[in-house]
Structure 1
Amino acid sequence: MTFRLALCFGLLSCSATTVAQVPEDIERITTTGSRISNSFNDSDIVISTVSQEQLKLTSPQHIQQVLNYIAGAGVQRGNGQEYLPALRSAVLTGAGACGGILAAEDNIPLRAAGFCNINELFEAHTEMAQRIEVLKGPASALYGSNAIHGVINVITPDTTRGNPQLLGYDYGSYGYNRLKLRHGKDWGDSGLGVNASITRDTGYRDDEGVDQEKVNVRYRYNTDDINIMTGLTYTNLEQETAGYITGFKAYESDALSQSNENPDAFRKASALRLWSRVQWQMSDKLELSVTPYLRDQDMDFKMHFLPGTPLEQNAQKGLGLLSQARFTATDATYWDFGFDTEYTEGSLLQFQDGPTQGSPFLVETVPAGKHYDYDVDATLYAPYASFNWHTDTWHLQLSGRFEHMRYDYTNNMLSGRTREDGSECGKGGCRYSRPDSDTNSFSNFSPKALLSYQLNSETRLYSTVARGYRAPQATELYRLQRDQQIADLDSVTATNFEIGAQGQLDKLDYKISLYSLYKDDVIYRDSDFFNINNGETWSRGIEITLDFPLTAQLKLAFAGSHALHTYEHDQLLNTVNINGNDLDTAPATQFNTRLDYLISDKTQVNLEWQFVSEYFTDPENLHRYEGHSVFHLRSRHVLTPQITLYGQINNLLDENYAERADFSTFSGDRYFPARPRNFMISVEYQY
């Protein structure tokens, strides 16, 4: 508590600095492409957006539902609020997989660079967002480690400027209830607002359920000399988790789909983020944005997917600073530059209450007691710069970011591959290995070049070349197995080439992108259970986004991708060399098609078709999932100027399919089954 209060006062006091006058009647919008409000940045052309209108119509119970609207995003939903991410990639799994995509809310990364969590987007307030922005491929100089495949940024509404107040309620199948509130006051030179939701979901499967609370608070203060926006997000999740069901095509059985092989699994997590953004118009040529922030997070969860189902307790707290200055040198050129830094204190404890159930090998090699207990202090600093030249038709952007990350790791147990008390395990030794206390540091440079050309008033062409990276995550360095005593890892790097076009052809709005992303030094666990850096993968594909009004009442929207994701390194798995194989869980074709029918100016009906092609579920390409097509029906009706009704039927045709399919050498084919046909009705009152 002392840590929180000290940082809160520190942040607010360092924000209260005299700045030049900023017009108060301008709605200031900060996007993923820039930290300077309402600023031009050509990287915006490659940002995809889920609008507030789409969010309201979908009323997402899970962020995966709306990320389906982004071409190239293939997020797979788990149970409750869990998921596995994919963005121009196969579905990312493993200890450091979450480091492939940077997740943020209001431009603040949800987690520190070395402490990501594969499910971290449940800490963003998607349910009440203003929009979601997705930047694909190695990101701009504003984002460093963890942005190899892109950025998913949830933007919450500015509740301080007299926006419509909102009270809403959602009621759905299987005990789903959600209360939503948005309220604010605008006093001209200041404002205060809150954006909150409370969710209760007893779930379809046995012994599952979600209790979740989220709140955003914003405070704005303006005088002739200052413009400050301060925000706070707090989220709390208590989830009873249903794990995989096992057996080939088990999802086709209603009884198996409803069952829960892990009735004791759970996840409890809370997260607090506080930030304060200050913007100076220091002169006609220089503008500056500075954002100090803090995080305080902790999580307990039962690792139902591991032998012995141990409990993990992890926590992190820290503070950081984001900055951006824009210097306009001439009418045709400007510079962006800045310095980002953060300091994080993290900890992890994994322990098992009782003996492992299963084969004699598992019983002996996965002992009860503590498996890991360590602390990691991490320091990051990153200067960056970007040069921009633009005319009426051309825009050139050359940018680079240098980033240095240092880990100070302290092992709080006996080092090595032993039980907690130091005794040896039989049958070759204990599964878990703890390295000696140590320090590790990583330095990386990420360049990017973007060139765009305005072909005519309706068409823009662009091309980018970028190199991205991610430092190894703390869990990859210090959560070792078997004989490995040290993880000698380098940063994962990715080189991306992309060309594209966006514009309008008659009534058709379109965006087309072709990309090739090659990843080197990919971290994976080899046949000896060593974390090593020898992996190489290649992802290449085409993405198409279309919006086409067929008539005055009918509109068609399409977002789809066709891509190949392959292993490009030699690795023997069960006598199979996977070089050239498809990455597991990498469907070649995915698309989302929505047909909107505007019955009247008050009534709208939307039919959605989500398609996922078949994919392999193991690196050897010996097992596969057949893919699926799913339809959803949604509607909106404006009852009065203040009251709007929404309704939806998900999985309209009541298909039996898997949200996620996987293959494990321990359990064979396993799945997260989708919910059968279900409904939700919503009422929204604006005042």
Structure 2
Amino acid sequence: MKYIYLSILMCLLGQASYAQFEVKGRVADLETEEPLIGVSVYYDSLGQKSGVMTDLYGNFTIQVPNREILLHFVMMGYDNKEMRSKNSSLVLMKASSIGLQEVLVTGNRDERRRDELPMAISKIGSDDIDKFKPNSLDQVLNTIPGVHMVDLGNEQHMMSIRQPISTKSLFLYLEDGLPIRPTGNFNHNAMLEMDMAMMDRIEVVRGPASSIYGSEAIGGAINLITTKPTHSPEARFGVRISDQGYARTDFKATGTQGRLGVAIGGYLARQKDGYREYSDMEKNAITANLTYALSNKTDVSAGMTWVDYRADMAGSIDSAGFFANEFKSLHRFTERDVNALRVKTRVDHRWSESGKTSFTFQYRNNTTDQIPSYRLSPRHNNGEINSNSFSSYVGLIQHTQEFNLLQGAILTGGVSFDNSPMAYEAYLIKVNKSEDGIFESYEETDSLLTDYEVDVRNMAAYTNFELKFTSRLQVSLGLRLDRFVYDYRNFLSKESFSGAPNSKDVFRSFSPRVGVIYNFTNDFGMFGNYSRGFVPPSVGELYRGVKVPELKPAKFDNFELGGWRSFLSNKLILDFAMYAMIGHDEIISVRLEDDSFINRNAGKTLHYGLEYSVKYKPVEQLALRASGSNSVHRYMEYVEKGNDFGWNEMPGAPSWIFNAGIDYRPVIVKGLKFSFEWQRVSSYFMDQENSEEYEGYNLLNARASYTFKFVEVWGNIMNITDELYATRASLSYGRKQYTPGLPRTFQVGLNINVGKRKRL
């Protein structure tokens, strides 16, 4: 009998040795607490090894032989972590200090490590945004090599990325990977429709990205990624004021309960009685993001952003007023009023560890009403009131599949549509000027300058294939096909200012990209690529003030070589990119013999340069950075009023832009931070003739903050030396025009963070 009992006992012990315990947990980013998708979670003990991947919410479920076993958490871009299974309900992973390995999503609409993307791409994280406390996005974007965002005041902007300073649709602005405005609608100032209080990070692709994102991604694509729900509840409230009349209140709250995650935030900003006369502004913005886990494989998310914005349009000033530090405005009624709504929903489904599909739908509604200062004519004492509106219905389906081919392959494909009916209406107004030339008031007329509707439809298909021939060599092939239809209906006669007849204009484009990456070591890699970008004429360029539309799409061929290298155990990181881009049929504004302007396709333009950045962190308390670009932008073929400007430099094209900074955290005072910044913009020509030149400027800025428990107080000094500078200088009708930048400005603020870990 004792042998029977002994046998039963041995069986029970044997079963116990193979008993499995279920462990569930969630993995998130240490700083943001946003879920981390695709983290490898595994154990390796006594010959038993098993692993799983985190799902779309960062959740994992793993069977372990005992509750004390050591779990390993591994993900590229993050430091490896180990934790006992019984303590792994919430695992917070720290982003790696190796900047080369950071994870980005903008390169091909999916998560990839930086060293897997054969393109010039940079990221501004939430910590940097929090450090700079920007009132306008140029204050953070200008730290990226090759990016020069021009502040026109009140969050209005111009841009320069591998192109001269411009308002043209050569830069694509995205919110969570979707264009803020549709193709064909003038996307200048699109970023003023963003909610800065809910901005988690910014990713910038430099150079054409048309093979994935389509038109307008010529100089670059800027993806503004909003805050997603965090695992633990947290909230922030902040206020700020400056001595130049700026005041702002921010709020944000986020958290997850069960399967539902919520993040909501916004801000109210006011500018009143600033350094520029007639430059007041009011802006209200709110963003809400919801996530819901239908299962461990399917995730549903929804988001909404609403912005209500109104600002005076002070216009530029002449050289006499600028150099006398008299920033007076000649206007008393010009303004811009924007109401923008974007609503999106997305379903993500992971079929397996190697395949996933996303379905996205977006609705946009936007109205911009203006009495624009740039349309006032001193010569004829008239101007216009205009209204531009659109509604958009956008759909996107994308699938990503991984293959066990050579060292690994990934195929991404998608189709999209965008149906955006637009309407534009403009009335002539008569303006009244005072004896000293100030536009004091206006009288409406019943004279319609422009009255049309355009249905803009864009159908596209794209694919991207990545193949690793070896562990170090990767090739990437991308291709996108676009078809645009502009269904134009004019409600005015052919004799009108905008007299183009009803028409249906169709534009097609084939946008390829080929890229190669070779990683010599884990901290040294290089890439090369060829890409083609395109942009069809915008609705305004094609039909406003036009009798017969004759414009063709502009195309750009870009050749690029770049690389990265880290030294001193990743304390020193170098990044660079060289490029040469040729533009064909660029759309430019040409002055005619009667001094009126018309849009025409220029022959060729040439753009080439070097972009670079250096980051050095010798000790934990000190960090140094520098980024810049040296570039040349020339007309190859360009004739205006019988003058051949071939090989002249394009106006608004500084040959050198540079930004450097020092961050310091003294050991003796925990929670105290200092940072100093130098911004340099070199001289550039103000006109096509290269007859007038603006000398450029240097700016010095300083920032400081102190955090104690959940309270942060901070202060910024912008333009420490009180330098007189213009964010933009141009020559029009023989007159120099300047947009003055901020004088020395003091700003203080207070943030209250509840439930958020202190970032010391």
Normalising by structure 1, what TM-score?
A: 0.88
Larger Rg: 2
* Partner residue of 1:661 out of 704, 724, 729: 729
Moved more, 580-589 or 116-125: 116-125
Which one-letter code corresponds to 1:352 in the other structure?
Answer: L
Query: Does structure 1 residue 472 correspond to structure 2 residue 537?
Result: yes
2:234 touches 2:255 (CA, 8 Å); kept in 1?
no
**Alpha carbons 1:608, 1:632 under 8 Å: kept:** yes
Distance apart, 1:627 and its partner CA: 0.6
Residue 206 (structure 1) aligned with residue 311 (structure 2): no
User: Which digits, 9 at most, give the CA deviation of each residue in 1:400-423, with x for residues without a partner?
Assistant: 00000001111111223x4xxxxx
| Contact map agreement 2:210 2:216 (CA 8 A) in 1 | no
8 Å CA contact retained: 2:193, 2:307: yes
- Shift in CA distance, 61/621, structure 1 to aligned 2, threshold 3 Å: same
* Residue matched to 1:652: 720
Of 473, 477, 490, the match for 1:411:
490
Cα 1:169–1:624 shift into 2, 3 Å: same
Within-5 A mapping of 1:552-631: 552-573=620-641, 576-600=643-667, 601-631=670-700
TM-score (norm 2): 0.80
Partner residue in 1 for 2:599: 531
- The separation in 1 between residues aligned to 2:244 and 2:446, in whole angstroms, is 37
Task: Tell me, yes or no, if the aligned pair for 1:387 and 1:397 is still in contact at 8 Å.
Answer: yes
Separation of aligned partners in 2, 1:628 and 1:590 = 10
Counting only pairs closer than 5 Å after superposition, residues 407-446 of structure 1 correspond to structure 2 as: 407-416=486-495, 418=496, 432-446=497-511
Write out per-residue CA displacement over residues 65-96 of structure 1, whole angstroms, 9 at most, x where no aligned residue: 11111111122111322211111110124xxx
Q: Does 1:394 align with 2:456?
A: no
SS at match of 1:53: helix
Q: Deviations over 1:557-614 (max 9, x none)?
A: 11100000001103135x6421111100000000001111222341111111000101
Q: 1:22 to 1:243 in 2, by over 3 A?
A: same
- Give the Cα–Cα distance (whole angstroms) in 2 for the partners of residues 558 and 466 of structure 1: 27
Q: Does 1:494 align with 2:561?
A: no
Three-state SS of the structure 1 residue aligned to 2:140 is helix
1:3-24 deviations in whole A, cap 9, x for unaligned? xxxxxxxxxxxxxxxxx99453
Cα distance change on mapping 1:433 and 1:582 into 2, 3 Å: same
The CA deviation at 1:109 is 0.3
- Aligned counterpart, 1:181: 251
Does the aligned pair in 2 maintain the 1:21–1:281 contact within 8 Å?
A: no
AA aligned opposite 2:478: S
What is the aligned partner in structure 1 of residue 311 from structure 2?
Answer: 239
Aligned match of 2:458 in 371, 375, 380?
A: 380
The answer to which of 192-201 and 125-134 deviates more is: 125-134
Letter of the 1:522 counterpart: E
Matching residue of 1:221: 292
1:251-330 alignment, distance < 5 Å: 251-254=322-325, 256-257=326-327, 259-306=328-375, 307=377, 308-330=382-404
Alignment partner of 1:353 is 2:429: yes
Q: One-letter code of the match for 2:357? A: L
Distance in 2 separating the partners of 1:345 and 1:153? 24
Structure 1 residues 138 and 153: CA distance shift in structure 2, 3 A: same
Superposed CA offset, 1:32-59 (max 9, x none): 1243457898327632112212211221
Residues 23 and 674 from structure 1, CA distance in 2 versus in 1: closer, same or farther, beyond 3 angstroms? closer
- Between the aligned partners of 1:86 and 1:184, the Cα distance in structure 2 is 35
Cα deviation, 1:141-160, whole Å, max 9, x if unaligned, reads 32001111110111111135
| CA distance, structure 2, for counterparts of residue 140 and residue 117 of structure 1 | 16
- 1:500-558: CA deviations, max 9, x gaps? 11131222111111000111011123343443223321110001111112454332111
Cα 1:472–1:356 change in 2 (3 A) is farther
> Secondary structure of the equivalent of 1:568?
strand
Q: How far apart are residue 477 of structure 1 and its match?
A: 0.9
Q: 1:488 Cα shift?
A: 1.6
For 1:612 and 1:186, locate their aligned partners in 2 and report how far apart those are by CA, in whole Å: 45
- Give the Cα–Cα distance (whole angstroms) in 2 for the partners of residues 663 and 137 of structure 1: 28
Distance of 1:53 and 1:226 partners within structure 2: 30
The Cα RMSD (Å) is 2.3
Whether 2:210 is the aligned partner of 1:143: answer no
Q: How many residues align?
A: 634
Structure 1's 39 and 593: CA in aligned 2 closer, same or farther, altered over 3 A?
closer
Mapped partners of 2:121, 2:513: distance in 1: 16
Higher relative contact order (CA 8 A, sep 6+): 1
| Pair 188,24 (structure 1): closer, same or farther in 2 beyond 3 Å | farther
Q: In the TM superposition, what whole-angstrom CA distance separates every residue of 1:255-308 from its partner, at most 9, and x where no partner exists?
A: x22x11122111110111111121111234321112111100001111211222
Q: 5 Å matches for 1:68-107?
A: 68-93=142-167, 97=168, 99-107=169-177
- For 2:345 and 2:104, the matched residues in 1 are separated by 13
- The equivalent residue for 2:100 is none
Tell me by how many angstroms 1:140 deviates.
5.5
Shift in CA distance, 625/276, structure 1 to aligned 2, threshold 3 Å: same
**Within 5 Å, which residues of 2 pair with 1:38-117?**
42-43=116-117, 46-93=120-167, 97=168, 99-117=169-187
Equivalents in 1 of 2:220, 2:743: separation in Å?
A: 32
Query: Secondary structure at 2:128's aligned position in 1?
Result: helix
3-state SS of paired residue (1:675): coil
| Residue deviations 1:471-517 (CA, integer Å, cap 9, x gap) | 11111110135xxx212222110000000111312221111110001
- Alignment-mate amino acid for residue 333 of structure 2: D
CA distance in 2, matches of 1:570, 1:385: 36
Most deviating of 539-548 and 592-601: 592-601
Name the stretch that deviates more: 522-531 or 542-551: 522-531
* Matched letter for residue 293 of structure 1: Q
Q: CA deviation at 1:631?
A: 0.5
Task: State the distance in 2 between where 1:572 and 1:244 align.
Answer: 25
Q: Encode CA deviations 1:86-107: one digit per residue, 9 max, x unaligned.
A: 11110124xxx1x201001111
* Cα distance, 1:242–1:555 mapped onto 2, change above 3 Å: same
In the other structure, the counterpart of 2:189 is 119
Shift of 1:30: 7.3
Structure 2 contact 291–300 (Cα < 8 Å) conserved: yes
The AA in structure 2 aligned to 1:539 is: H
- 2:420 aligned with 1:344: yes
- Structure 1's unaligned 5+ residue stretches are 1-19, 359-365, 419-431
Contact 1:594 1:608 in 2 (8 A): yes
Output one character per residue of 1:83-140: Cα deviation in whole Å (capped at 9) or x when no partner: 11111110124xxx1x201001111101001113311110122344111111010116
Consecutive aligned runs of 4 or more in structure 1 exceeding 4 Å deviation: 26-30, 37-41, 355-358
Tell me by how many angstroms 1:393 deviates: 0.5
Match of 1:13 in 2: none
Is 1:79–1:243's contact at 8 Å kept on the other side of the alignment? no
Query: Aligned partners of 1:648, 1:285: CA distance in 2, in Å?
Result: 47
1:162 corresponds to 2:232: yes
- Supply the distance in 1 between the matched residues of 2:316 and 2:638 (Cα, whole angstroms): 30
Which residue identity is paired with 1:180?
D
Contact 1:79 1:242 in 2 (8 A): no
Which position in structure 2 is the counterpart of 1:424? none
Aligned-partner Cα distance in 2 for 1:457–1:503: 9
Aligned position for 1:456 = 521
